[in-house]
Amino acid sequence: MQQKGLQTLDYAVFLFYFVLVSFYGYYIYQKKKAKETNTQDFFLAEGSLTWWAIGASLIASNISAEQMIGMSGNGFSMGLGISTYEWMAAATLLVVAVFFMPIYLKNKISTMPQFLSQRYNKTVSLIMAIFWLILYITVNLTAILYLGALAVSEISGIEFYTCMIMLAVFAVIITIGGMKVIGFTDVIQVFFLVIGGLAATYIAVTMISGTDGISGLVDGFKMMTQNHDDHFHMIYNDGADAHVHSNYMSLPGLTVLFGGMWIVNLNYWGCNQYITQRALGADLDTARKGLLFAAFLKLLMPVIVTLPGIAAYALYQKGMFHEEMLKDGVFNQDRAYPVLLNLLPAGLKGLSFAALTAAVVASLAGKANSISTIFTLDVFRPYFAKDMPEKQLVWIGKIVIIISMILAIVVSPFMGIEKEGGFQFIQQMTGLLSPGIFAAFIMGFFWKRTNSAGAFFAIVGGLIVALLMNFDQKEITDEITNKVIGYYPDLFPFLNWSMMPFLDRMGWVFVICVVVMFVLGLVLPDEKKGLEIDASMFKTTTGFAIGAGIVLTILTILYTVFW
């Protein structure tokens, strides 16, 4: 029987984590306070972050409640296949390091809206800045807060909304110190995330075998793979079985290797202020090393965020915690990770609780900083305060951090996060914008005739097309029972979009955007706004090439073994 709540030793471990992060953050803040505070220092920590700080901060900001809770929940219901988001991200980070980062740094890009303004025009930049602000607050911040508070409440026994407020306050304290404080404290956050996450995985897997130590870990993993082989496949095929079909709709076969998954990852890791911000203040060599370090860490993440969910499924099949997986009488896969943590012994539970908190707080801080950066530098300063002193702009940024966190707390209960599963909720919501954004960036990078009209269509038109495809269905109702027995397409009769996996729909939206952008580029006058690019920018060091080769080799082995 699981024991809810934290014990004295757990509180001691968590307090050590809290004090360490707080004092180290304060130390970094005091060091940088001696310098004149300006927007580049506050938002980008320009020239301050080392490669290991950049890599750690990328992972700390990326791995949060949607992975620890949401991806573990998908591990419970789907299996290892959901890890493709992590492992494909490792390959994506290499692409971003080689091709995207040189372009940003060569052209002195500080924010993603600035890139759109410099490459296209201010209208495209402003529209995208507003879209990003809405998306970051209503989807990312809310999901991270909601799922994080859900887990913390389940483990600690503290009331849900109290947990949400406490997480938000802790994140705000770190965020108002600026990107330098976030970047260096993220190193500590990642340490606790990895150690605590591995501890939770170790205990869960050894519980399956009933023995401790390395032999227990090996035996437990063997039992999982033998007894639940359906949970250890990376590539899903469609089938008549409802469960198989559901998995395929989320991860449609080879699309995860050669299709829409690349759009998801390249947009997230290469065209996303939340992520690129960590490397934009560094030189190219440091940025590339940081991204390579993050790629290696990504290879480890499924062990921390997916395997516990599969272990929870194995224990569930043995008859454990059936009631605990229910929320308001309804089965909820996102309860798998917090329920599992409640099985840990005192001390380890505190360590895993600290890991979860670190993941949530680090992501909240990174996301809030990006919201503040975009609003202050790309909306407020150019349109409302062109002559405002740098220090006052920093204060505006700090106020925005607090306001955005309050908005996320208020909005989160109304977003329906629990319906799809936390991780899938974020992927599908951001997937409405991802194809158009990525099309605007990639065409802007590599085709000089790409113009503002094309970028406008990709960003606004791409969203409209995605929405139409998403809702392109009409109910077929049985005349006798009046029950819904199916759907048929309405707006696009030539394809049944409602039966197409969302990753494939993203691929089609991307293709439509690129085709329209290409046509507009040929038909309309050349705006001559290409970026400064030459082939030498994309050359890498021998060390980077060797590291990248190792990452790709490991990925090949993983996909071959767990195909």
Look at residue 435 in the predicted model and tell me its pLDDT.
Answer: 92
What pLDDT score does 299 carry?
A: 93
The confidence score (pLDDT) of residue 485 equals 56
Calpha distance 447→459 (Å, rounded):
17
**CA distances from residue 352 to 65, 141, 210, 223, 224 in whole angstroms, order as listed:** 13, 22, 21, 24, 22
* pLDDT for residue 429: 78
The three-state (H, E, C) secondary structure of 101-130, written as one string = HHHHHHCCCCCHHHHHHHHCCHHHHHHHHH
| Per-residue model confidence (pLDDT) at position 46 | 58
pLDDT given for residue 36 in this prediction: 47
pLDDT score of 377: 84
Supply the pLDDT for residue 521: 92
By DSSP bridging, strand 330-331 and strand 326-327 are antiparallel
In this predicted model, what pLDDT tens digit does every residue of 131-153 receive, in sequence order? 889 888 888 888 888 878 877 88
Q: Read off the tokens for 25.
A: 């953050």
Longest dimension (CA), the chain: 77
Q: Where are the domains of the chain?
A: 8-33+40-421, 431-532
Strand partners, 475: 487
pTM as predicted: 0.83
The single-letter code of the amino acid at 134 is I
At 2 the pLDDT is: 47
pLDDT of residue 334: 75
Give the pLDDT score at 438.
93
* Low pLDDT (below 50) residues in the chain: 1-2, 34, 36
Evaluate whether 96 touches 270 at the Cβ level (below 8 Å). Answer: yes
Q: Which CATH class is domain 8-33+40-421?
A: mainly alpha
